Amino acid sequence: MLDSLPVMSTDAADLARVEHTRLRRRMLYGTFRQDLDERIGIQLGTVRQEAWGYPDLTGNPFLQLWSQVAVMYDENPERLAPQAVLDGIGAAGLDALMRRVQRDALGLREMLVFVDVVDGELTYRPVFPDMVTATSHPYDPTRPVTLTEYRQEPSMGGRWVRDSWNIADKAAPYRTVTLCDSEHTDVTADVLGSSGAGADYIWRWADGSPFIPCVVYHAEMTPYLWDAFAFSEVAEGSLNIGVLLTYYGHVVRNAAWSQRVGIDVEPVGGNVAQSGERSELVTDPSVLMLLRTVQEGTNPQLLSMGTPVDTEIILRSIGAYERRILNIAGFTSPDVTKQNADIRSGYSLAVARESIAAQQAKYHQTFARADVELMRKSAALLNRHGVASVSEAPADFGIEYEGAPMAAEPMDPQRITVLLSVLQAQAAGLITATGAKALLVAGGFTVEEAEAAVAPAPLKPASAAPTTTTENSDTMTTDAADTSQEDANGA
């Protein structure tokens, strides 16, 4: 589908951004086989490429990394907004949609979400950055003031159009829709039903100032509108992982056994018939081969050469290369743990929870800023369409994310030793709970930590108290009963 898209720009830098972003998009959505085929062909040539066979698409650290890190919306965030906005967001399923949007925003470095009101309901539409050209104001470089989206228009029979917004001049904003043809045919009135300018430009705040009804989600705040090439090494390295895994599969299929050599022998049935027809023999290691001497009087020999390569060494090398890729992405070696459940456990990696938590702190501010802007624009559009009458003030909007995992700080080994020794002494009855707390406090724990660590001594039920018989023939009493009676008298 990406090959049939219209030409979006004549600017070389923008075309490079679009091309690289589309490579990343193909890797996120599993449609990068052609890219991997081209990479293998460049590195090996066509002859060796054919010998290697079908490319291995299973190793995609680019997808694995951003899928594991995008967890901010795993739990629906707590949103502060007017109730009509919250109801509209819930009906539109925005929180579920944002799980994919965050992953794509991290992988592509930007994602756009358009908001609209259709039949009185809020709707949200993610748009990939490679389908958009835009410019921003120098004083606010992260928000576009002109934006053109290339999309297919249903009312035009699915033809490609340029949907352009321009709010650079706050006094004269406009929206135009033109066909992607050489004449740039204007179809604004046909698509919008209005001129899209002046009073027909309805996308405005309560004070009348215009806005573009979309929000750009950034993976990281930078002084630029687009950050498309950040961590491009991760995307390139992921393609190289595909090359290495394709080689691994080739070795397992075709070279993972000893090479056999015969001198003065030939396989039985391997000769060419008089008709010229060839016979085919299977020489797989699991097949019993029958051999015969080439001629009488010779000394036939069978030799076996060692396995040319160790598949385990190949997997370990691929694993080391993959860890290097994740290090480039900002996840150092201690943040990466092996996952042995996968049959390819030699190179399968996962990002540790502690590292994910650290990354969420970086993403929180950028995503919260965009989420609040999206909620405010949602409120403004509900108001402009007459669906609701709610506040658009920034103070009435906010968001807190519950999906971001918070990792506990690891306990100091010395504190662990103190804790274990004290708890073992208490369990053995050598010290009381009060004494255990005192020892923990002396060992560097706070009073609250000591009280949480030391369980109170369990109360013994009255029936479990030891009994002794007094030397009185008329009555039988127990110490426990006497004690209970004394307590009652004392009370």
Beta strands 110-118 and 121-127, pairing class: antiparallel
User: DSSP code of 281?
Assistant: -
Residue 259 domain-assigned (yes or no) = no
Judgement on whether residues 423 and 364 belong to the same structural domain of the protein: no
Position 68 scores a pLDDT of 86
Position 118 scores a pLDDT of 96
374-394 pLDDT, tens digit each:
999 999 999 999 999 999 999
Q: What is the 3-state secondary structure (H, E, C) of 1-46?
A: CHHHCCCCCCCHHHHHHHHHHHHHHHHHCCCCHHHHHHHHHHHHCH
Residue 30 domain-assigned (yes or no) = yes
Binned at pLDDT 50, 70 and 90, residue 356 comes out as confident
Establish how many alpha carbons lie within 13 A of residue 232's alpha carbon, considering only the half-sphere containing its beta carbon. Answer: 11
More confident of the two residues 218 and 411:
218
More confident of the two residues 310 and 345:
310
Q: Residue 106: is it exposed, middle or buried by C-beta count within 10 angstroms (0-12/13-18/19+)?
A: buried
Has residue 276 got a pLDDT over 60? Answer: no
Binned at pLDDT 50, 70 and 90, residue 331 comes out as confident
Position 56 scores a pLDDT of 92
Has residue 314 got a pLDDT over 70? Answer: yes
Percent of the chain at pLDDT above 70?
81
Residue 110: strand pairing partners: 218
Judgement on whether residues 418 and 396 belong to the same structural domain of the protein: no
Judgement on whether residues 15 and 89 belong to the same structural domain of the protein: yes
Judgement on whether residues 79 and 125 belong to the same structural domain of the protein: yes
Judgement on whether residues 457 and 368 belong to the same structural domain of the protein: no
Average pLDDT over residues 333-353: 47
Position 190 scores a pLDDT of 96
Average pLDDT over residues 188-197: 95
Residue 476 domain-assigned (yes or no) = no
Judgement on whether residues 107 and 18 belong to the same structural domain of the protein: yes
Position 127 scores a pLDDT of 98
Containing 356, the helix (H) or strand (E) segment is: helix 353-384
297/428 Cα distance (integer angstroms): 86
Has residue 489 got a pLDDT over 80? Answer: no
128-179 pLDDT, tens digit each:
999 999 999 988 999 999 999 999 999 999 999 999 999 999 999 999 999 9
Q: Distance of CA 478 to CAs 220, 323, 488, 489, Å? A: 76, 71, 15, 16
Q: What are phi and psi of 52, to 5 degrees?
A: -70, -30
Judgement on whether residues 113 and 59 belong to the same structural domain of the protein: yes
Q: Which amino acid is at 420?
A: L
Judgement on whether residues 74 and 46 belong to the same structural domain of the protein: yes
What's the distance, CA 45 to chain centroid?
34
Q: Which domain holds residue 27?
A: 2-134+206-230+357-400
Judgement on whether residues 383 and 445 belong to the same structural domain of the protein: no
204-256 pLDDT, tens digit each:
999 999 999 999 999 999 999 999 999 999 999 999 999 999 999 998 888 77
Residue 421 domain-assigned (yes or no) = yes
Domain count across the chain = 2
Residue 190 domain-assigned (yes or no) = no
Binned at pLDDT 50, 70 and 90, residue 272 comes out as low
Position 351 scores a pLDDT of 63
Residue 216 domain-assigned (yes or no) = yes
Residue 184 domain-assigned (yes or no) = no
More confident of the two residues 275 and 102:
102
324/221 Cα distance (integer angstroms): 25
Judgement on whether residues 437 and 371 belong to the same structural domain of the protein: no
Position 405 scores a pLDDT of 52
Judgement on whether residues 72 and 21 belong to the same structural domain of the protein: yes
Judgement on whether residues 49 and 89 belong to the same structural domain of the protein: yes
pTM surpassing 0.85?
no
More confident of the two residues 328 and 289:
328
Residue 127 domain-assigned (yes or no) = yes
